[in-house]
Structure 1
Amino acid sequence: MTDRRIVLWRHGQTSWNLERRFQGSTDIALTEAGVEQARRAARLLASLQPDAIIASDLKRTRATAAELEAVTGLEAVHDSGLRETYAGSWQGLTHDEIIAQFGDQYAAWKRGEPVRRGGGELETEVADRAAPVVLAHVDKLPEKGTLVVVSHGGTIRTTIGRLLGLAPGTWESLGGLSNCCWSVLGEGARGWRLLEHNAGTLPEPVLGDDD
Structure 2
Amino acid sequence: MSNDTGSPTQRPVPEGRLVLIRHGETEWSKAMKHTGTTDLDLTEHGEEAARRTAALLEEFDFALVLSSPMRRARRTAELVGLPEPDIDPHLVEWDYGGYEGRTTAEIREELGYDWTVWEDGVVPGDTPGESIEQVAARARAVIDRVMPVLKEGRDVVLVGHGHTTRILTSVWLRTEPRFGAQLELHAGSISVLGYERAFPSIQRWNQLAPR
TM-score, normalised relative to structure 2: 0.83
Conserved? CA contact 2:49–2:209, under 8 Å: no
- The answer (yes or no) to whether the contact 2:22–2:190 under 8 Å persists in 1 is yes
Distance 1:195 1:89 in 2: 36
> Contact (CA 8 Å) 2:33, 2:103: kept in 1 or not?
yes
Residue in structure 2 matched with residue 13 of structure 1 by the alignment: 25
User: What amino acid is aligned across from residue 7 of structure 1 in structure 2?
Assistant: V
Structure 1, gaps ≥5 residues long: 203-211
CA RMSD of aligned residues (A): 2.1
Residue 182 of structure 1 is matched in structure 2 by: 190
**Residue 118 (str. 1) matches residue 126 (str. 2):** no
Deviations 1:56-96 (A, max 9, x none): 0001001001123xx35x22111111000001111111332
Could you list the per-position Cα deviations for residues 134-163 of structure 1 after superposition, in whole angstroms to 9, with x for gaps in the alignment?
Answer: 331231346321111101010011101011
Unmatched 5+ residue regions in structure 2? 1-11
Whole-Å separation in 2 of the counterparts to 1:190 and 1:79: 28
Consecutive aligned runs of 4 or more in structure 1 exceeding 4 Å deviation: none
Q: Which moved more, 1:11-20 or 1:186-195?
A: 186-195
CA distance in 2, matches of 1:48, 1:185: 13
User: Greater helix share, 1 or 2?
Assistant: 1
Q: For the residues of structure 2 that align with 1:105 and 1:123, how far apart are their CA atoms? A: 18
- The alignment's TM-score, normalised by the length of structure 1, stands at 0.83
Alignment CA distance shift 1:154-1:164 (3 Å): same
Shift of residue 201 of structure 1?
5.3
Q: Which residue of 1 aligns with 2:208?
A: 200
After alignment, is 19-28 or 75-84 more displaced? 19-28
Would the aligned equivalents of 1:164 and 1:192 in 2 still touch at CA under 8 Å?
yes
Percent identity, aligned pairs only? Answer: 31
One-letter amino acid of the counterpart of residue 122, structure 2: R
* Structure 1 CA distance for aligned equivalents of residues 159 and 166 of structure 2: 13
The answer as to whether partners of 1:138 and 1:147 remain within 8 angstroms in 2 is no
Equivalents in 1 of 2:170, 2:113: separation in Å?
24
Match of 2:157 among 148, 161, 186: 148
What is the rounded CA distance, in whole Å, between the counterparts of 2:112 and 2:89 in structure 1?
30
Aligned 8 A contact 2:25 2:43 in 1: yes
Compute the displacement of 1:44 (Å): 2.0
